[in-house]
Structure 1
C-alpha cells in the first residue's frame, strides 16, 4: 500500500483514480471494494476488524479510495504505516453536497438502476454489504438514496463532511499528508 485517499466520495476520487492508474498504481476504488471485498467489508462493518484484516485485503494493492475506505483511512494506515495519505477536498461543503445530490438524483432517476434493485441479486448484495452500512457510518442515515425523495438535513451532511476533513487534518501524520483539490491538476 502506497497511498490512502481519505477524502469523501464526490471530492475528485474518480479523477484521482484515473491519474493514479495512469501512473501505474493498482487502485481499489468503490467498485473493487464492493465487488471483490464485499464480504470483508460486511464483516468489518458488522463485527469489527483487525489490522491483519486490512493487511490481507490490500496486500497487493497500491491505492485505496472512496467509500468505505475513506471512513477507515486511519485503520488502513495502521496496517500500512509507510503509506501516504491524500485528503481530497472540494472548494466548499456546499459544492460537495450539490455534487452528491446530483449523483444520487441521477442514479435514482436511472431506470436501469431501479431495475437492478429489483432483479439483480448481485446489486442487492452490494447494497447490503457495503453501500447501506457505509451510508450509516458516513452520514448517519440508513440509505443515502433517501436524499432524493425525502426531506433531509443538508446542514448535517455538510457537518459530517467538514468533521471528517477536520479529523483527517488533525490526525494524519503531517509528513505523509497531502491536501488536494482535483482542480489543481495532477501532473
Structure 2
C-alpha cells in the first residue's frame, strides 16, 4: 500500500472525505471499496486496513472505547481527520459503526447505503463474523498469538461486534443481529437527507 494511503499518527488530512459507504459488513463492502477506488476515490477505508497498521488499530480502539465504554473523549472532526485523513471514502466496519459521527462530521460527503437480503446477510454475518470471532481458534489467536505479535486486531474486531450488537455472548449476538441490521438501515435513512443518499440492494441493477 502506498505511504499516502496509510494512516500516520498526527498527520493532517491529505485528501477530502467525499463518500461514506455505510453498508454493514457482509454486504459486499470489499467490492464497494474496490469500485470506489476504480472511480478515483483514494484511499477507501475498509476493515482489512486494520491488519496492515497496528497504530491505526490502536487509534480505532480509542474511538470505540470513547463511544461505547465512556473512556476518553468522543472524537471530533479533528480526530476523524487525523484517523481518516488518508481516505477519500469509507466502507465496512469500523466506519459503519460510527455512521452518525461521520455523517455529522462530514456533512459535505455523499452517502451510499448497500443492503442485502436480511436472511442471507444474517447467515453470512453469523458464520463469517460472530462464529469466527468466538471460535476456539479465534480466541486462541486473540489471547495468545496476537499479544506476541503486538497486535490488537482480534480484540478490537470482537469489541466492535459486541458493542454494535449490545451483547457479549455468541447467543446474545446472534439474537440481536437481525434487529441491529434493521435498526441500522432504518436510522441511516431517517437521518441522511434524500439528496445526499444513494441506496443499492445487492443483486439489483442500478
Place the TM-score, normalised by the shorter chain, in its bin.
0.7 to 0.9
Give 2:40's aligned residue.
24
Give 2:69's aligned residue.
none
Q: List gaps (5 residues or longer) in structure 2.
A: 1-16, 66-71
What CA distance in whole angstroms lies between the structure 1 residues aligned with 2:205 and 2:199?
A: 13
- Per the normalisation by structure 2, the TM-score is 0.74
Paired residue total: 177
What CA distance in whole angstroms lies between the structure 2 residues aligned with 1:109 and 1:132?
A: 11
1:26-55 CA deviation, whole Å, 9 max, x = no partner?
Answer: 111002246442122111122222221112
The yes-or-no answer on 1:170 pairing with 2:196 is: no
Rate the CA distance shift 1:53–1:16 in 2: closer, same or farther, 3 A: same
Q: Which has the higher contact order (CA 8 A, sep 6+)?
A: 1
Rate the CA distance shift 1:126–1:181 in 2: closer, same or farther, 3 A: same
- Per the normalisation by structure 1, the TM-score is 0.81
Rate the CA distance shift 1:71–1:115 in 2: closer, same or farther, 3 A: closer
Aligned-CA RMSD value: 2.6
What CA distance in whole angstroms lies between the structure 2 residues aligned with 1:119 and 1:43?
A: 22
The 4+ residue runs of structure 1 with deviation greater than 3 A are 33-36, 104-111, 113-117, 151-155
Q: List gaps (5 residues or longer) in structure 1.
A: none
What CA distance in whole angstroms lies between the structure 1 residues aligned with 2:108 and 2:31?
A: 24
